[in-house]
Amino acid sequence: MSVPIDRPGKIIAIHLNYRSRADQRGRTPAAPSYFFKPSSSLAGTDGVVERPAGTELLAFEGEIALVIGAAARRVSAADAWAHVAWVTASNDLGLYDLRANDKGSNVRSKGGDGYTPIGPDLIPAAEVDPAELRVRTWVNGDLRQDDDSSGLLFPLPQLVADLSQHFTLEPGDVILTGTPAGSSVIVPGDVVVVEVDTPHSAKTFTSGGLRTTVTQGTVAFDGTLGSLPAVDDLQRAEAWGSREEAGLPAEPAAEAAPTLDPELRAKLLAAPTAGLSAQLRKRGLNACFIDGVSANLPGTKIAGTAKTLRFVPAREDLFASHGGGYNAQKRAFDAVAEGEIIVIEARGDATTGTLGDILALRAKARRAAGVITDGGVRDFDAVAEIGLPVFSQGAHPSVLGRKHVPWDVDVTIACGGAAVQPGDIIVGDSDGVLVIPPALAEEVVDATLAQEDEDAWIAEQVAAGHPVDGLFPMNAAWRAKYDAAKRGAPDDASRGAGSGTGS
């Protein structure tokens, strides 16, 4: 059925919703997240879209579009599909060159005129199964995308129900439901065709081919009004779908993150940092303290291997190129492995928020052991409620960009006055945080636990009334007495130990 779609009140799009796309991107969201597109971005079939002058990364995204037919407010997932009138094809076009400053909102990168072609024909939602819709995209006749709604992370009715929790979906509103793997860059002269159909249904429906031709714009953006387009190899790889497709050399294979032996982890959790620091000092290591940080959860004890994140001082041009998009901060929290501790170099600046509740949730979901930052933490109470152990300089409400640019991950950093390398062993408790070279960890923790046994025995003697002179530290007589107690042998040393003052 061919019905013109009037300008909708709202166009809502989801960031990531196909398993194939999530696998391609290497991250899977725990819940749907959305952005708005302006109604002025709407375009029909057999239209054109302009790639602005001075840009290179215009990308297509074939999607299933839902058109709301009946107002929906706080509807259940079971009832949500009844509020959808039509299903059709859409192309959620985006310009990666403009993602640096507004990725997430996608206001500029996805809001351009003509960036939401939709149609041409409408499929009646009441006559199709929302789990049996297929979307395909061709570029210049070559099939680039082919997936169906059974591959969605979040089913179509769930999206309607979820959005209706927050605001009323009104008749004519459009929901763009995500794109599968295969999205890539298009250039002037390319012709993109998107189709949605129902190949597995008893009755076949199709949206027809939604055709868009790319043209070259001649007007460049004015840098005096706002940030200019900016691209790097990361944006190119994401826009094209892979480094190979973008013509970039393959990255060297990443080394597997060092893991902490469970027995060693258990011993480190049993050993106090005060004892560990004493053993490090005996071995000539006096600069292994991360100073100035304390735990957000009283009584917290953490042990794990370091995954490092480095911030550099804020500078407007560097933040434009590295602060937005899938920056180093997001990459660190998306890639942290179970049992790792994210250690952040924030140059000891407590007037910064180096993570907040969303990133804390991500680290918690990844089963990270905790986060150490020599900066501040925003959403401090919310982060504590999440239960992620965080050692920091305290709370601060500032957002990213005030003092820092997220620069790189998995490099040697300075945190709280200590050098930290990826894979270093981090231990933290109420006394503070230590960095332990991995090669010394077993030796240091074993010596610490042995000393803890001695100290516990000494405490018993002091509690029994013995003076500390000669007992703490133990002289030869008390040492013999202790060794005998350890062996369970008769107390031959007691005659020489006397009152504990030594002879």
Q: Which of 114, 108, 117 is nearest to 65 (CA)?
A: 117
User: pLDDT at position 471, please?
Assistant: 81
Asked if 219 and 306 sit in the same domain, the reply is: no
Asked if 279 and 319 sit in the same domain, the reply is: yes
Residue where a domain stops, chosen among 210, 240, 270: 240
Asked if 215 and 319 sit in the same domain, the reply is: no
Instruction: Provide the CATH number for the domain around residue 161.
Output: 3.90.850.10
Asked if 89 and 128 sit in the same domain, the reply is: yes
Tell whether 247 is covered by a domain. Answer: no
User: pLDDT at position 501, please?
Assistant: 36
- Find out whether the peptide bond into 473 is cis, omega within 30 degrees of 0: yes
Torsion 398-404-410-414 (CA) sign = negative
DSSP 36: E
Ranges under pLDDT 70 in the chain: 1-4, 103, 251-258, 489-503
- DSSP strand pairing (47-51 vs 210-216): parallel
Cross-strand bridge partners of residue 213: 48, 191
- Burial 125-157, CB ≥16 within 10 A → b, else e: beebebeebbbbbbbeeeebbebbbebbbbbbb
User: pLDDT at position 425, please?
Assistant: 94
Asked if residues 17 and 153 have their Cβ atoms less than 8 Å apart, the reply is: yes
Question: In the structure encoding, which two tokens stand for residue 320, read together?
Answer: 């434009």
User: pLDDT at position 89, please?
Assistant: 96
Asked if residues 433 and 390 have their Cβ atoms less than 8 Å apart, the reply is: no
Asked if 230 and 373 sit in the same domain, the reply is: no
User: pLDDT at position 256, please?
Assistant: 55
Q: How many domains does the chain have?
A: 3
Helix, coil or strand: residue 486:
helix
Tell whether 397 is covered by a domain. Answer: yes
Asked if 434 and 462 sit in the same domain, the reply is: no
User: pLDDT at position 216, please?
Assistant: 94
Tell whether 465 is covered by a domain. Answer: yes
Residue where a domain stops, chosen among 418, 442, 466: 442
Tell whether 503 is covered by a domain. Answer: no
Q: How many other CB atoms are found less than 10 A from the CB of residue 245?
A: 13
Asked if 225 and 288 sit in the same domain, the reply is: no
User: pLDDT at position 324, please?
Assistant: 75
Q: How many other CB atoms are found less than 10 A from the CB of residue 287?
A: 9
Asked if 31 and 115 sit in the same domain, the reply is: yes
Asked if 162 and 276 sit in the same domain, the reply is: no
Asked if 344 and 458 sit in the same domain, the reply is: no
Distances (CA, A) of 71 to 74, 200, 359: 10, 29, 34
Question: In the structure encoding, which two tokens stand for residue 255, read together?
Answer: 């080394």
Tell whether 332 is covered by a domain. Answer: yes
Tell whether 381 is covered by a domain. Answer: yes
Asked if 232 and 334 sit in the same domain, the reply is: no
DSSP 471: T
Cross-strand bridge partners of residue 87: 66, 123
User: pLDDT at position 257, please?
Assistant: 56
Tell whether 257 is covered by a domain. Answer: no
Asked if 232 and 351 sit in the same domain, the reply is: no
Instruction: Provide the CATH number for the domain around residue 424.
Output: 3.50.30.40
User: pLDDT at position 377, please?
Assistant: 92
Distances (CA, A) of 232 to 3, 151, 295: 42, 31, 37
Count how many residues are written for the chain: 503
Give the domain range for residue 456.
447-497
Q: Which of 126, 119, 129 is nearest to 198 (CA)?
A: 129
Claim: this prediction has a pTM higher than 0.85? no
Residue where a domain stops, chosen among 187, 207, 240: 240
Tell whether 316 is covered by a domain. Answer: yes
Cα separation, 354 vs 346, whole angstroms = 7
User: pLDDT at position 253, please?
Assistant: 53
